[in-house]
Chains A and B, each alone.
Chain A
Amino acid sequence: MEHRAPAFPARGRRRARVFIPALLGGALLVGLGLAPAGAQRSYVIAFANLTEEPGVTVEGTGFTGREIRESFVLAARAHPIEMVFYDNQRDDARALQNADAAIARRVDLYIEYHRGTANAAIGEKLKAAGIRVLALNYPVPGAPLYTVDNLAAGRVAGEALAQFALRSWRGQPTAAAVIGNLSATADRVPERSQGVTEALRQRLPAVPVSDVDTRGNPAQVGPLLGKFVAAHPSDKLLIAATDDATALAAKAAVESAGRVQDTAIVSHGMDRSIHGGMNDRKEIDPANRGSIVIGSVAFYLDRLGYEVLPLAMRMLRGESFPSRVTTRHILVTAANVFVEYPPSDMN
């Protein structure tokens, strides 16, 4: 069917004289990306998650893949985005299948969160299909990367412990330990440990730092830390736990040993096990400012969607940004927990 330009009747010509420039102006605004919000182009963005297996935690923290997915669902509300979700199930073959499905679905952008050998092939496939890729936590060749920064997070924790010791125990004999699943190289926990150790050695060069590897077994926190505590009967103790569950177990171990007055603990993650809502009365809570768990270095994995989708939108708009963007890890304490995590669940 032939498409004809609208004809303006004689008495409508004056209106046409106004309408045509307005139309042209509107087209120009759209071209410049200045169209009103209602006229924004919508995009289809795929997110292939590392795993959505119930209860399985990721990145050596207490966060689950489901929490990460939920953060994308919530963050997408602010953008003209239709999200398509895939579960890579921590499996190369599945990750490749997901990329194929996204290509068939003709998505505009693919966010790949996968740790495996398939990432290069996935990047090639998507590039050949003309689909832009944003890598999450693990690189995809040629794609910008958003990642947590374990080394930086560890330094924040080490710095917090050092500052506490300098403020509270200056001149007193002190020993430090990094405790957690320290051999979890896949989750880059050793980088976290390295950051803690570097910061402590820089600020407190005389303080010995011990590694206490639980090998991922929370039941080992008590016995292993008990030995460390017993080995330092008259020292002040600085404990860096590599995740929140370990921090809580470490606190229990210190209480059992009767060494609460001698101990300060800093954790990593800031998941729901250590902070909570209005009435949760968790460890890091404005009503619990005296806790020996000074704070936890936030990883914001439950906010990942809020961090990543704005980058995805910038990519889709053709804007540039650094090829590697990292999480801004900060120490969350009883003093700022309700700023960083305002309670919204009112149970």
Chain B
Amino acid sequence: MMPRAILAVAVALMVLAFGTSSFAQTDCKKLVPASPWGPNDQTGATNRVTPAVTKAAAAEIKEGKVIPMSYPLTDGVPLFGSRFTKTILTAGSLAPGASFGENELTYMEDTWLSQSHVGTHLDGMGHIGRKDCYYNQTPIGKFITQNNITKLGLEHLKSFATRGVVVDMVKVFQQANKFKGNPACKKPCLEKGTVITAADIQAGLKMYNTTLREGDIVVVHTGWGDLFEQYPAQNALFNSGEPGIGKDAATWLISQKVVAVGADQWAVEVIPGENPKEAFIVHNMLLTDNGIHIIENVRTDLIAAEAAATGRATFFFNMTVPRAVGMTGNFVAIDGIR
């Protein structure tokens, strides 16, 4: 009788232990699709950047012209919500008598107090979820410590050395006679709340006789970044909303198997959103459901001007993301190379 009771208790404990974990798994399987790269995938869409994709992208480098595509990272630029940056210079060796050796070597260093999603930055797989379910059905609650995430961190990303394609939404909306701007922009910008649809993106591609291919990074020029450049004067307006892609455009871009979508504003997607009761739904669609990165505050005006001047919208997308272990995103520097 006793062994049978012990067995029953043991079975009950096992059911409780495994049951709890399987409930969490089941929930995430309901909320988030599985990765096409398998159950262990923590990488997402950079799986698409194969050697062949990078080699093909290298063909975009024809003149060696480098176009900056990131904004200066400095105190005072517009930041989302409670994010902050603060730099502190350490220059102690400049004090009299503090230099080293006969050669009087001096040095300076910085302390950078900053959150990672500031300035021109990349959203990683660990950034956005539904409830506690993140990319590839990951129940992220099991993989967080006080300091970082132990799954889906940036260290799992592959290369972003691929082809970039700029779509100039300012021109598309102007040519379609539906342009509505904001007077605070010094250069033309779409008004906040302007929804960019799949048809608009397709029109932007057609403008330069371009089609997307698997592994591309799409960069959307809305002009809203002009307000970023006016920091800090226009920070409040910049943060109050933005033009951006809607759900229809996101769905189409997902179908094109891109690696990332970037834009010259702070969320890539249109704000206010199409449905006032949905929060940053395009983030869920791209990141959580499809592992497609979002790159925010991309400087797009120069590459858009380059495309307009040359009739070519494609370039080699040069961006290195620090393999920051357990981080959900990071500031990046981007160059478009032609």
Contact = CB atoms under 8 A, between A and B. Distances in A.
Nearest to A277: B81
A73 B236 contact: no
B193 A278 contact: no
Nearest to B81: A278
A38 B199 contact: yes
Contacts of A10: none
A73 B276 contact: no
28 contacts: A73-B193, A74-B193, A74-B276, A77-B193, A77-B195, A77-B274, A78-B274, A278-B80, A278-B81, A278-B82, A279-B82, A306-B275, A338-B279, A341-B276, A342-B277, A342-B278, A342-B280, A343-B81, A344-B271, A345-B240, A346-B80, A346-B81, A346-B239, A346-B266, A347-B235, A347-B236, A347-B239, A347-B240
B188 interface: no
A340 B273 contact: no
Interface string B271-312: 111111111100000000000000000000000000000000
Given A278-B82, A345-B239, A340 B277 contact: yes
A344 B241 contact: yes
Contacts of A39: none
Contact of B241 (A78, A279, A345): A345
A239 to B, nearest CB: 29
A159 to B, nearest CB: 23
Contacts of B273: 344
Interface of A: 38, 73-74, 77-78, 278-279, 303, 306, 338-347
A119 B193 CA distance: 33
Nearest to B271: A344
Interface in B165-196: 193, 195
A306 B275 CA distance: 8
Interface in B234-293: 235-236, 239-241, 266, 271-280
A279 B195 contact: no
B274 A339 contact: no
B196 to A, nearest CB: 11
B279 A344 contact: yes
Contacts of A279: 81-82
B139 to A, nearest CB: 21
A340 B278 CA distance: 9
B205 to A, nearest CB: 17
A78 B240 CA distance: 21
B132 to A, nearest CB: 16
B293 to A, nearest CB: 20
Interface string B57-96: 0000000000000000000000011100000000000000
Sort A-B residue pairs by CB-CB distance and give the 7 closest, nearest first.
A342-B279, A278-B81, A346-B239, A346-B80, A347-B239, A77-B195, A346-B81
Contacts of B277: 339-340, 342
A70 B89 CA distance: 46
B244 to A, nearest CB: 11
